[in-house]
Amino acid sequence: MRFEQISINSFRNISSAEVDVDAEDIVLTGINGQGKTNFLEAVYILCYGSSFRTSSLREAVRHGSEGFSISGIFSDSGIKSRISTTFQSNRRKIEIDGKEIRDRRELIYSFPCIVFSHDDILFIKGETENRRRFFDQMMSLYSPLFFDAHRSYRGILMQRNAAIKNGNTSILPLYSDRLSRFGLEVMRERAEAVYGFNSIFPDLFRKISGSDMEITIKYQPSWGAMDNADDISSYLEDNIQRDISMQTTSSGPHRDRFTVMADGIPFASVGSTGQIRLASILFRIAEARYFSERTGKKPVLLIDDVLLELDDERRGKVLSSLPEYSQAFYTFLPRESYFSGEKEDSLFYRAEKGNFTIGRC
């Protein structure tokens, strides 16, 4: 799948733009604040119906406008189609060839997209919830089974927590039983994903960093080694008084821990700033590689200024480590070195005040 044209209206600082992107590599150059990241965010919204920068699409509406619209012409196996996302009156509407898409699940498997951003550093040194989110997003790209189990788990968790807060303790056994069954599936999928990730990430880090540290992900399920839904349900019921006291479900996959370890020590406490930044980039490369291994598909990559802090040699190693992709969008500052050599199937645009013109800065 490849985008051929992107049209954006009233989105952040972009008043109106229609950009030809029919190439494998699209490079946006310009000083900060000109709309490069906004363009990548618009592409991401087409792929997922949500933003990687905010949970509220209202924040992305251009000042003085009532809403925004983003559309893209894409080709898949030689067939051209049009996808659009509009946000008006606080309502999002997604359409493909005029047919409304009501469940974003339909997008995820049609438009696999992986974004590299500065906030990815939180996967390494941030709270464990950031790593939970990373692995959950990674698994949702390739596993409908995980996506459905995780969605069901979160829905039941909300109902169980509401029952606890409302004092409806008589129905908790029903919620505990359902929570344990979907939660167990989430745990199993996460354990498998971490195993697969660890088959890629350590070697990748050693190769790019030049360090001999063994960097791995340690997965610690909240429910420990329990692997039977009935046992988990009994555990939840045995600890109901604790949950009532805390006014929330105190155990389960929503409490699982993921820790980045370096030779058995938390990496965040021993890694240098440069190593941590590099590791956050390699997290995304490992994700893209694992996705391709699992599905045989090529993702769309959105690479937003994350290469800025790397020297030319390491930047070249990072770029050469990318898996095959259907299309990649990059943002660079003026006069940055882009690739180690010229790439034939590429387009370069200058970004200035929300406008995009062909050429390099």
**Residue 262 near residue 213, CB atoms below 8 Å:** yes
Using pLDDT thresholds of 50, 70 and 90, give the confidence band for residue 343. Answer: confident
The mean pLDDT of 236-247, rounded to a whole number, is 95
What value does the mean pLDDT of the chain take?
94
The token duo for 245 is 């006291």
Q: Do domains 1-112+297-361 and 119-295 have the same CATH topology?
A: no
Query: How far is it, in rounded angstroms, from Cα 288 to Cα 282?
Result: 10
The pLDDT of residue 179 is: 97
The pLDDT of residue 310 is: 85
CATH superfamily of 119-295: RecF/RecN/SMC, N-terminal domain (1.20.1050.90)
Cβ contacts of 261-268, under 8 Å, gap ≥ 24: 261/215, 261/216, 261/217, 261/218, 262/213, 262/214, 262/215, 263/213, 263/214, 267/124, 267/213, 267/215, 268/124, 268/125
The pLDDT of residue 307 is: 86
Query: In this predicted model, what pLDDT tens digit does every residue of 250-277 receive, in sequence order?
Result: 999 999 999 999 999 999 999 999 999 9
- Domain range annotation of the chain: 1-112+297-361, 119-295
Query: In this predicted model, what pLDDT tens digit does every residue of 178-193 receive, in sequence order?
Result: 999 999 999 999 999 9
Query: How far is it, in rounded angstroms, from Cα 286 to Cα 108?
Result: 19
Residue 54's Cβ-side half-sphere holds a number of Cα atoms within 13 Å equal to 11
Query: How far is it, in rounded angstroms, from Cα 42 to Cα 21?
Result: 13
Using pLDDT thresholds of 50, 70 and 90, give the confidence band for residue 339. Answer: low
Query: In this predicted model, what pLDDT tens digit does every residue of 139-148 receive, in sequence order?
Result: 999 999 999 9
Query: How far is it, in rounded angstroms, from Cα 68 to Cα 87?
Result: 5
Query: In this predicted model, what pLDDT tens digit does every residue of 116-135 receive, in sequence order?
Result: 999 999 999 999 999 999 99
Burial readout 207-225 (b: 16 or more C-beta within 10 A, e: otherwise) = ebbeeebebbbebebbbee
Q: Which residue has the higher pLDDT, 77 or 39?
A: 39
Query: In this predicted model, what pLDDT tens digit does every residue of 277-322 receive, in sequence order?
Result: 999 999 999 999 999 999 999 999 999 988 888 888 888 899 999 9
Q: Which residue has the higher pLDDT, 86 or 108?
A: 86
The pLDDT of residue 315 is: 87
Query: In this predicted model, what pLDDT tens digit does every residue of 25-67 receive, in sequence order?
Result: 999 999 999 999 999 999 999 999 999 999 999 999 999 999 9
pLDDT over 60 (residue 340): no
The pLDDT of residue 342 is: 65
Longest Cα–Cα distance in the chain: 67
The pLDDT of residue 77 is: 83
The pLDDT of residue 105 is: 82
Query: In this predicted model, what pLDDT tens digit does every residue of 88-104 receive, in sequence order?
Result: 999 999 999 999 998 88
pLDDT over 90 (residue 360): no
Query: How far is it, in rounded angstroms, from Cα 84 to Cα 274?
Result: 39
Which class for 361: exposed (0-12), middle (13-18), buried (19 or more C-beta within 10 A)?
middle
pTM of the entire predicted model: 0.93
Which residue type does 3 have? Answer: F
The pLDDT of residue 328 is: 96
What one-character DSSP code corresponds to residue 109? T
* 198 Cβ contact partners less than 8 Å away, ≥ 6 residues apart: 216, 217
The CATH class for the domain spanning 1-112+297-361 reads alpha beta
DSSP-based three-state secondary structure for 302 = strand
